[in-house]
Amino acid sequence: MRDAITAAKWFGLAADQGAARAQYMLGAMHVRGDGVPRDLKISVKWFKAAAEQGFPLAQYNLAIAFYDGSGVARNLEYAYMWFKLAASSGYKPAANNVDFLARRMNPSQIEKAQKLASECIRKKYKECLRKGASQNRIPTIKWSRSAPVKGHVKSQKNLAGIYYNGQGIIRDPKEAFRWSRLAAQQGVAEAQYNLGVMYSNGDGVSQDYSEALRWFGLAIQKGYAKAQLGLATMYDYGDGTPQNGVEAFKWYSRAAEQGDMRAQNNLGAMLGLGQGVTQDYKAAVNWYRLAADQGYALAQYNLGWMYDQGKGVIRNYPASAQWYRLSAEQGYAPAQARMGESYQKGKGVIRDQILALMWYRVAAKNGANAASKNKEFAAKSMTNSQITEAENLARECVRRNYKGC
């Protein structure tokens, strides 16, 4: 609910500045009562505002409002007109509704509606409704004047985040990219980093490593740790640049020193493997611990493995089981498989075949390949009632989101 309220706030900012998609989304939220009061009249006003900018989904929904009489007086001619306009804009479902509606109208109504549609196109969708057919004036949203979207980088950045993460709405990477770019062009480091990620992953825009490097570079100039991590990752994997362990280590280090937990974990991995730097298990453990203490599941697993193997620390099975569990409770499948092994062999925990099979089942469900084999091996030495109990516990563990299993 909080995400929907936040989304409605930022859509209000954009809608009040004339962003058609935001106007449509705000109209849809008023239809559902999602983050705003359910109000069909206000929804019609926002649909109309977006429809007059040629936004097909808004035209379609405005047609539905006129057909149903939802928030506006029922009018089949206007319903037909807006379905026709949405169809001509390329929205295929609207074409089906044009045919459907035509079968329920007399020839004179259809002729009138078609003339209305032609006239509306000529006017570029403006003033297509007779006065009184809908409330033309869009109400001012109380928060909008204090933070207009055009040129307001916080609004742009937050809208980008809402679209990218799907907060209260369907995720839309293309819209996220558009709003991120507006903020990035005004020098916002976080938005510049986000653009780098989107270019690197081809998410919301065609993949372009050179553009990813450029935007990461701009954010790095402002000391933005996540951008340092992004650049390090590109050097680490050779994405858009020759693979270079030394450069990767350098940029991981800079981000890690600023407290970025993923960079700290990756730095630990490079030190543990001797990749781009002299192998140093003790230093690896230190970096893993910093990231693990921040709750990073992968680092918790890696620290557990170091205790399990006695790498950089004295071998300590209770400590390894503790770190594996913390990681497993976050849903990390390899850690869940290790918990199965810990219970099967009594490593740091009291040996318990039922709990071992439970964790193997959970890990296998989450894609851990080794767990699939181990669960079959563990089950061979168990009774049917024990296997049933383990399966029930596994289902309960998943239901509880892996906590307290």
Per-residue model confidence (pLDDT) at position 137: 40
pLDDT at 168 over 70: no
Mean pLDDT for all residues in the chain: 84
| Whole-structure pTM value | 0.66
Residues 193-211: tens digit of each pLDDT: 999 999 999 999 999 999 9
CB 270 within 8 A of CB 262: no
pLDDT at 58 over 60: yes
Residues 20-34: tens digit of each pLDDT: 888 888 888 787 777
Cα–Cα dist 341/359, whole Å = 9
Show the domains of the chain with their CATH numbers: 2-122 (1.25.40.10), 223-315 (1.25.40.10), 322-405 (no CATH)
Cα–Cα dist 224/226, whole Å = 6
Task: Write out 14-37 in H/E/C secondary structure.
Answer: HHHCCCHHHHHHHHHHHHHCCCCC
Placement of tokens 């057919």 in the chain: 133
Split at pLDDT 50, 70, 90, the class of 145 is: very low
94 contact partners, CB below 8 Å, separation of at least 6:
56, 59, 60, 63, 83, 84, 86, 87
Q: What DSSP string runs through 280-326?
A: -HHHHHHHHHHHHHTT-HHHHHHHHHHHHHTSSS---HHHHHHHHHH
Cα–Cα dist 110/83, whole Å = 12
Split at pLDDT 50, 70, 90, the class of 13 is: confident
pLDDT at 133 over 60: no
Per-residue model confidence (pLDDT) at position 372: 62
Q: Half-sphere exposure of residue 246, counting CA atoms within 13 Å on the CB side?
A: 0
- Kindly report which listed range (93-97, 173-177, 343-347) carries the lowest average pLDDT score: 93-97
Burial class (CB in 10 A: 0-12, 13-18, 19+), 372: middle
Cα–Cα dist 60/88, whole Å = 11
Residues 344-388: tens digit of each pLDDT: 999 999 999 999 999 999 998 888 876 666 666 666 778 888 889
Cα–Cα dist 270/268, whole Å = 6
Residues 208-240: tens digit of each pLDDT: 999 999 999 999 999 999 999 999 999 999 998
Burial class (CB in 10 A: 0-12, 13-18, 19+), 87: buried
